[in-house]
Amino acid sequence: MGRIAMVSLHTSPLDQPGTGDAGGMNVYVIELARRLAERGVDVDIFTRATSSRQAPVVEVADRVLVRHIHAGPFEGLTKTELPGQLCVFAREVMRTEAGHQAGHYDAVHSHYWLSGQVGALARDRWGVPLVHSMHTMAKVKNAALADGDSPEPTSRVIGEEQVVEAADMLIANTDIEARQLIDLYDAEPARVEVVHPGVDLDVFRPADQREARRRLGLPPDAHVLMFAGRLQPLKAPDVLLRAVAELLAADPSLRGRLVVPVVGGPSGSGLEHPEALADLAASLGLDDVVRFVPPVTQDVLARWCAAATLVAVPSYNESFGLVAVEAQATGTPVVAAAVGGLPTVVRDGHSGLLVDSHDPADWARALRRVLADDDLRARLSAGALEQARQFSWERTADRTLEVYRQAVGLMREELFVG
């Protein structure tokens, strides 16, 4: 496998995770590309340019190029408006490949359904296999909408179905996602492979909690209940705030030691009311305990995770839940919703606690268990480190290379049969 074209149309792997449309998928794309490059594979990542200041081509690592494609205005386009730019984006991707000899790319790996539409065209024009990663699926999201969130449009559902049909291989983050692809999208089971995302264990590693807190300006003896991610209804940071309000109502003495960092920026439907979470914190009387922290780099996020007593992941759906793995890699227990890929990432009672609802009272009980029991917290911390060691980007890259080879073999079989 010599060269891969990755397509990440709607969000650049160079964007700061935690704001706009940038999140776990951005981390996934760049970390996978780097590990593939370490294995001798050249990777070109095609993404839509969002600023005139972006260079057309950025070398982010040896063998890894990010190619910024001009398709539509640099700013102001929402994700729902991007389908109108697919033709322009695809044309420029085709033009890049046309500047090289035939067979320049050995495979296309697209991320998210918009990219899959472009990847399907590239597959047919270049005669190379398409491997696709959904990351999120409209049918799954629509079945578990947060209060006040908008359903994904029918056009996305149709687009996803088309990509599933076109792809030679589909990569699912977990067994649950694989089953959803098969049951909800009629994917052929033989064309679906499970490849877990990873975590950079050199960045996310155990660190002295008191020192991490000192560097972040947190009290050394605080109960730090942290949320990290994009601020949108799907991620449900409001559930954590409401649970904290319940905790304080039951035990007002906690207020002097409680700190709730919310690390991230508005995204998706959260952009419609960017101040909504701050308004909720004020209405719940939590202004003195909640700290809103803008999106941070991976090394600073690792410091926040190490400083936390626990990390809360109350999402309504997660295909995997990368922040849960990252937190566990620092030895911090996770309290997570029992949805999507989170039960794969968080081992209930061993590396954290899973909550079967989004009722703030249920969440308050789970948070209280961790805060009140030093022995439980120590056991979960040790279990978190053990659990995180199961996930590495090196293992992800090795398994992904296997899927690429499967896709090449399948396409050759089809050509021979045809």
> What's CA 51's distance to the chain center, in Å?
23
* pLDDT recorded at residue 270: 45
Q: Per the annotation, does 173 bind a ligand?
A: no
CB 108 within 8 A of CB 131: yes
Beta pairing partners, 224: 259
Low-confidence spans in the chain with pLDDT less than 70: 16-23, 267-274, 415-418
* pLDDT recorded at residue 18: 55
CB 385 within 8 A of CB 186: no
CB 155 within 8 A of CB 83: yes
Q: Per the annotation, does 17 bind a ligand?
A: yes
Beta pairing partners, 6: 45, 109
> pLDDT digit string (tens) for 59-77?
999 999 999 999 888 877 7
Tokens standing for residue 231: 């601020």
Tokens standing for residue 60: 């982010």
- Judge if pTM exceeds 0.75: yes
* pLDDT recorded at residue 53: 86
394 exposure class (CB count in 10 Å sphere: 0-12, 13-18, 19+) = middle
* pLDDT recorded at residue 83: 85
Q: Per the annotation, does 235 bind a ligand?
A: yes
CB 315 within 8 A of CB 342: yes
| Cα-trace Rg, the chain | 22
Q: Per the annotation, does 60 bind a ligand?
A: no
Q: Which long-range contacts (CB under 8 A, 24 or more apart) does 13-18 make?
A: 13/45, 13/47, 13/60, 13/66, 14/47, 14/58, 14/60, 14/66, 15/50, 16/295, 16/297, 17/295, 17/298, 18/228, 18/229, 18/230, 18/263, 18/264, 18/265, 18/295, 18/296
Dist. CA 99–CA 78, nearest whole Å = 31
Dist. CA 180–CA 172, nearest whole Å = 9
Q: Dump strand ranges (E) for 342-404.
A: 352-355
Instruction: List strands edge to edge, sheet with 64-69.
Output: 57-61, 64-69, 42-48, 3-7, 107-111, 130-133, 169-172, 192-194
Q: Per the annotation, does 314 bind a ligand?
A: no
Q: Per the annotation, does 19 bind a ligand?
A: no
Q: Per the annotation, does 373 bind a ligand?
A: no
Q: Per the annotation, does 386 bind a ligand?
A: no
Q: Per the annotation, does 25 bind a ligand?
A: yes
Q: Per the annotation, does 112 bind a ligand?
A: yes
Q: Per the annotation, does 21 bind a ligand?
A: yes
Q: What is the number of helices (H) and of strands (E) in the chain?
A: 15, 14
Q: Per the annotation, does 139 bind a ligand?
A: no
Q: Per the annotation, does 149 bind a ligand?
A: no
* pLDDT recorded at residue 257: 95
Q: Per the annotation, does 210 bind a ligand?
A: no
> Strand, coil or helix: what is 295?
coil
- Helices 322-329 and 298-307: crossing angle in degrees, nearest 10, is 60
Q: Per the annotation, does 23 bind a ligand?
A: yes
The DSSP call for residue 153 is: P
Q: Per the annotation, does 22 bind a ligand?
A: yes
> pLDDT digit string (tens) for 203-252?
999 999 999 999 999 999 999 999 999 898 999 999 999 999 999 999 99
